């Protein structure tokens, strides 16, 4: 079952995070902006309240939480209720598929990646943004997950685990960016965005065939 209940119940708490930790949010946006093109049809899988799809110019968002979709629609995103493992779109529909801080919440990562692959055009790209399980922020989130209604049900992944799943799904070409190098309470402005992974807690991957 999709882990949508906390996002239906605690929608305002979710929204408040972006206001409280705006420096972290802007850092993540800046990282993903490197990989999301300004043209071509795009979808965000697990769009939430549209905090990424809206600024990044993504056309369509899908999510199982209706309360979140209402916010996404207000941010100019065309919304569809559904889950990552069963996308209600035809093959070869999009040039970009975006998944941000959602991969830890899906029920089936291989199925999610296979569906993303299916709906992408031959030249399309999958862009994933996530908190690396082995990173400092990832470790703190895991240590305190029982106190957080969102992360209580999350299953964090390492970059190596995600790369293995992407390769199994047929993706072969990868680019990486990273940001957020300290705990988010300590940020004083957006963090730099650098190539690679292993130092920043937030990692972006652009995957194609």
CATH code, domain with 181: 3.40.50.150
pLDDT tens sequence across 37-77:
989 999 999 999 999 999 999 999 999 999 999 999 999 99
pLDDT of residue 2 exceeding 60: no
Closest CA to 10 of 153, 190, 187, 133: 153
Separation between Cα atoms, residue 159 and residue 204, nearest integer Å:
10
Question: Which residues constitute the domain of residue 12?
Answer: 5-208
> Which band of pLDDT confidence, cut at 50, 70 and 90, is reported for residue 1?
very low
Q: How far is CA 209 from CA 154, 171, 172, in A?
A: 28, 5, 5
pLDDT of residue 183 exceeding 90: yes
Largest CA distance in the chain: 44
As for how many domains the chain has, the answer is: 1
pLDDT tens sequence across 126-151:
999 999 999 999 999 999 988 888 88
**10/26: higher pLDDT:** 26
């Amino acid at each position: 079952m999709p882990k949508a209940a906390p996002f239906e119940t605690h929608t305002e708490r979710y929204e408040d995070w972006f206001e409280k930790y705006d420096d972290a949010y802007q850092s993540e946006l800046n990282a993903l902006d490197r990989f999301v093109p300004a043209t071509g049809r795009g979808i965000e899988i697990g769009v939430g309240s549209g905090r990424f799809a809206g600024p990044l110019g993504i056309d369509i968002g899908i999510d199982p939480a209706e309360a979140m979709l209402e916010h996404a629609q207000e941010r100019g995103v065309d919304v569809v209720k559904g889950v990552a493992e069963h996308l209600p779109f035809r093959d070869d529909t999009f040039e970009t598929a975006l998944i941000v801080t959602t991969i830890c919440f899906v029920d089936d990562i291989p199925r999610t990646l296979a569906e993303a692959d299916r709906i992408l055009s031959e030249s399309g790209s999958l862009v994933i943004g996530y908190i690396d399980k082995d990173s400092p922020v990832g470790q703190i989130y895991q240590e305190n997950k029982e106190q957080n209604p969102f992360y209580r049900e999350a299953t964090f992944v390492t970059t190596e685990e995600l790369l293995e799943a992407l390769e199994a799904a047929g993706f072969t070409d990868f680019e990486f960016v990273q940001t957020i190098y300290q705990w988010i309470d300590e940020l004083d402005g957006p963090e730099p965005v650098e190539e690679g992974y292993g130092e920043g807690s937030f990692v972006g991957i652009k995957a194609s065939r």
